[in-house]
Structure 1
């Protein structure tokens, strides 16, 4: 997100009652105001791909009964999360680069940040649940339909949807001036450790168990087939967590780094995963490739050659 700096609060007096409406100023990319309209073009393209791609994934899964399985229900949840993350940042980005509107009210800023963090935690949770789905599919294929039931998928969906907002609700607004913010800093750190970092550790653990199971398969062809079922999810994990870790490291240890570095990493983290996820799953998932090839009128052999 663009850097935010507080402005003096606007004061409105009505019937002897004074209302303070604090605002923030969004800098965008400092020093690049002359070409900001050109900068918006790649952002617009990323938004277009993210929104249309994720909507396309949802439509494909909705209209094809063969895809009404737990794996694709989770993929639908991932697409919805990516849509939410894209829509959360769209108004501010359009306002800065297209309408030259750099101010945002304090309440609107709070809502936007709440949505961004909530959808980020939701995406991390979805990827965790999907890793468990892949673990069961590869390590216990004969018991998959018994373990991964519709009821458990619904429970997992509720966990994903509620986890982020519930974790963020207790956060108090950090007081300005001289008030001690130690608790806020500790809570924010613990929140990241016990959500995102814990999810990453559990995902790595599930892939370690998957690797152990796959290495015990007899033929190399079976090993390759097993790995192919995880390729799309593994790519989605890397696309989401690598920019997040890079942004966190720069935020914690790169205080002297140029502001453009922070802005670039923040925008990569916010815009790239929602854009790439539908592309990854469209290319690497055989069933979705078949549907796309059918829509485009391609032959089956061409569809199989994509992945």
Structure 2
């Protein structure tokens, strides 16, 4: 029923632990999903062999050796056995049942995009998935030590194959490409659903590194906004027209504040000389 795909970082150090935690949690979804990993980073082929996952070794990168979003989505959709696709970042644990929310959405819409906010939790050791209570324990720990990120922090996208058509060659792991997907589905008049209330996704926090700045500002971040067509071509879950709470699909009313914000973004589209300042302010706002 579901094909999950991701483009992992090298399986070294902390990322070996948290990425294997994430992938093993995906394998516990029932019915068992098809899982596709892309790229030739260290350890990707090995985990695909060990866990019997589909491996697409040939994944394009840009001149900065950053994976390209359009290539990842195109190759995964071409290889996928199922119509419902899920892109998820390789450090995100799937805690509760995602199949039921997907079935609820599929019952209402033939074609759609669904995403949700992520919970943040510091995890630095392997999870014992043999413990039958690992889900309850994880949720309890998140409630006490973690927190829910804002509507712009989207680490997974569930969508029907072929929904987006062509996607610009965004740099993965840099700002804005995720918000473009929300905008594109909205522009295509496809339903966008916020499934935060029905799906528990946990991002395993890893320490900030020297490259964190390049995620939010710099050449690749700037190029992503240019490729999208400007700031007005990026939306968050605030602009999702529906939300799914415990199987109940609710249509949301447009937020007047967000409509004004979109008009402000259109002004920024015409003043690229202030973009570096805007990038800096966004990074500071998010505490990065």
Q: Identify, as 1 or 2, the structure richer in strand.
A: 2
Q: Could you state the TM-score of these two structures normalised by the residue count of structure 2?
A: 0.25
Q: Which has the larger radius of gyration?
A: 1
Q: Could you state the TM-score of these two structures normalised by the residue count of structure 1?
A: 0.24
